[in-house]
Amino acid sequence: MKRHLISAADLTRDDAVLILDTAEEMARVADRPIKKLPTLRGLTVVNLFFEDSTRTRISFEAAAKRLSADVINFSAKGSSVSKGESLKDTALTLEAMGADAVVIRHHASGAPYRLATSGWIDSAVVNAGDGTHEHPTQALLDAFTIRRRLVGRDAGLGKDLDGRRVTIVGDVLHSRVARSNVQLLHTLGAEVTVVAPPTLVPIGVGSWPCEVSYNLDEVLPKSDAVMMLRVQRERMNAAFFPTEREYSRRYGLDGDRMAKMPGHAIVMHPGPMNRGMEITAQVADSDRCTAVEQVANGVSTRMAVLYLLLGGSEPAVATGNAPAPAASRPSPATTPERGAERRPFDAEESK
Amino acid sequence: MDAQNAAQTTTAQTAAHDRDMRPVLDAQDIARVLTRIAHEIVERAKGADDVVLLGIPTRGVHLARRLAAKLEEITGTKIPVGSLDITMYRDDLRMKPARAIGRTEIPGDDLDGRLVVLVDDVLFSGRTIRAALDALGDLGRPRAVQLAVLVDRGHRELPIRADYVGKNLPTSLRETVKVQLQEEDGRDAVLLGQRTPQATGQQ
């Protein structure tokens, strides 16, 4: 039985709209005196985090707890993984503990796919970010935020993002958020443009369902939503741009640039924000910036994903038929810092 | 056994099946029944001052709205009406693919101290109402909870009974009861038919 969420590309338009509609109802639970539903009682969700990510982990944790699932947090630091355990042995351990779903964040692209398809575990696998590949729940919550802001809470039910123009700005090369968003927003009918310095545009972007631009000022007046990506300083060791100051000047969003956007347009940021780098404090604190809303929407969206994958006898969304990520798109499937680390996932692959 | 709110069959199948079904209540009967229930609510609640009507999606919500309109005619005051989705509280969630979630809309501030009247179309196993009571428990503490249904077809599997019944309809388990409402199906009717393997959308 296929029941995984590995890539945003696996979702059909109807699947995606069902998740967004379900998330809309889940969001209403947050307004109640008792913010809890009994739906996943007795099920165990394991958060398996090989990379640090406090916000994604607590978002999944809050989502699972609001649905009454038991949550086990497993982080690589200070665990058996730091003692050299392979992904397979970790997976078998989780299976033995009776995990019904594994939410995995891994520094290697393709690790969730490997976990889901290797036959090591029976549980559902949810990709919470793998290497530079995908981060599908982030794309879903971004689409949810766009639909809420641009179409409306109730007016948006059952609707996609047909014809909305979304611009994604920044380090597209290393960004799994950008990859997932391009796929999902395209599926939902939006017109996506990615804007980045030429050095931060991945090879093979021509096969993505989006436009590419190197000039932010030209694109802004034609955007309904502008998504600023975090400049990942930890990945900038290869000097992708001359100085931070130059990057900020050409690709940062400040008050003057925001003024060029249409009146209804919103500014999005997946967080954490580097104020003064890709976004100024003036923009980050304006009411057009949805960064905080995105966090709240993240919990609702992840509740919807967990419910639709685990709530019934079989998942309501047909996910998990993904081809191997490396084969599906010619994106760089390696992260710069990988070589220096232990790679339990690769060790398994080469056995 | 609780087939309420089960997935609808395709339109073609449903239309073909409807012809084999015997009408039990027509539009006028349904209107009369709702008027009587409205009067009974006013009588038992001594004026319906603190009544809140909560319909169970989908058809229960339409019935609750109609009841609210009739109560307003009788009492002259506006009766709060909302909806209570029970999907997340069902006891058979794991037996079917995950279902789409309906809307829960609580009118006014909260339910504390109010008289909540749950409204549904068909009372069958009672499991839907059990789920509704669980859902209510997470939303507040009503003064009392009552149940109004258009049709009670029997075959209870839990100790639950309705306070207001439109029509008691003795049925066999091989029969299906189907409620059609103008808002949802284009006409008002209660139909009785034989359960067929294809007709999984019946109640």
* Among A183, A220, A128, A149, residue whose Cα is nearest residue A8: A183
| Structural domain contains residue B191 | no
Q: Is the peptide bond before A315 cis (omega within 30 degrees of 0)?
A: no
| Structural domain contains residue B87 | yes
Q: Over the stretch A275-334, which tens digit does the pLDDT of each residue have? A: 999 999 999 999 999 999 999 999 999 999 999 999 887 777 755 544 444 433 334 433
**Model-level pTM?**
0.86
| Structural domain contains residue B80 | yes
Least confident interval from A59-63, A335-339, B97-101: A335-339
Kindly report the CATH number assigned to the domain that includes residue B62: 3.40.50.2020
What three-state secondary structure class fits A152?
coil
Asked whether residue A340 carries a pLDDT value surpassing 80, the answer given is no
| Structural domain contains residue B84 | yes
The answer to whether the CB of A333 falls within 8 A of the CB of A132 is yes
| Structural domain contains residue B9 | no
Backbone angles phi, psi at A142, to 5 degrees: -65, -45
pLDDT of residue A334: 39
Least confident interval from A14-23, A214-223, A327-336, B120-129: A327-336
Asked whether residue A141 carries a pLDDT value surpassing 50, the answer given is yes
Asked whether residue B141 carries a pLDDT value surpassing 60, the answer given is yes
* Among B13, B37, B17, residue whose Cα is nearest residue B148: B37
Domains of chain A: 8-134+295-349 (3.40.50.1370), 136-294 (3.40.50.1370)
Residue A26, chain B, CB below 8 Å: the answer is yes
Using CB atoms and an 8 Å cut-off, which of residues 30-89 of chain A contact chain B?
A: 32-34, 36-39
Residue B96 pLDDT level (bands cut at 50, 70, 90): confident
Q: Over the stretch A161-173, which tens digit does the pLDDT of each residue have? A: 999 999 999 999 9
Residue A208 pLDDT level (bands cut at 50, 70, 90): very high
The answer to whether the CB of A150 falls within 8 A of the CB of A266 is yes
What interface predicted TM-score (ipTM) does this complex get? 0.82
pLDDT > 90 fraction of chain A, expressed in percent and rounded? 72
Cβ-count burial A208-224 (b if 16+ within 10 Å, e if not): bebeebeebeebbeebb
Put the strands of the sheet holding A101-106 in their side by side order: A70-75, A44-49, A101-106, A124-130
Residue A235 pLDDT level (bands cut at 50, 70, 90): confident
Asked whether residue A341 carries a pLDDT value surpassing 80, the answer given is no
Q: How far apart are CA B90 and CA B87, in angstroms?
A: 5
Q: For strands B51-55 and B22-25, give the pairing.
A: unpaired
pLDDT of residue B18: 63
Q: Over the stretch A43-58, which tens digit does the pLDDT of each residue have? A: 999 999 998 888 999 9
A56 in catalytic set: yes
Side-chain-facing half-sphere of A151: CA atoms under 13 Å: 23
| Structural domain contains residue B81 | yes
A107 in catalytic set: no
| Structural domain contains residue B31 | yes
Among A3, A57, A88, A105, the one annotated catalytic: A105
Domain count, chain B: 1
Sign of CA dihedral A211, A216, A219, A224: positive
Under 8 Å CB-to-CB from A269, ≥6 apart: which residues?
A: A227, A228, A230, A278, A279, A284, A289, A290, A291, A294
Q: Which residue among B89, B101, B102 sits closest to A38, beta carbon to beta carbon?
A: B89
pLDDT of residue A301: 97
Q: Over the stretch A152-203, which tens digit does the pLDDT of each residue have? A: 998 999 999 999 999 999 999 999 999 999 999 999 999 999 999 999 999 9
Least confident interval from A243-247, A323-327, B160-164: A323-327
Q: Do A39 and B88 touch (CB under 8 A)?
A: yes
Nearest chain A residue (CA) to B136 = A34
Stretch B149-158: mean pLDDT: 95
DSSP result, A158-182: T---TT-EEEEES-TTT-HHHHHHH
Domain assignment of residue B161, given as a range: 26-93+101-173
Asked whether residue B77 carries a pLDDT value surpassing 50, the answer given is yes
| Structural domain contains residue B65 | yes
* Among A249, A305, A300, residue whose Cα is nearest residue A277: A249
The answer to whether the CB of A266 falls within 8 A of the CB of A226 is yes
pLDDT of residue B81: 96
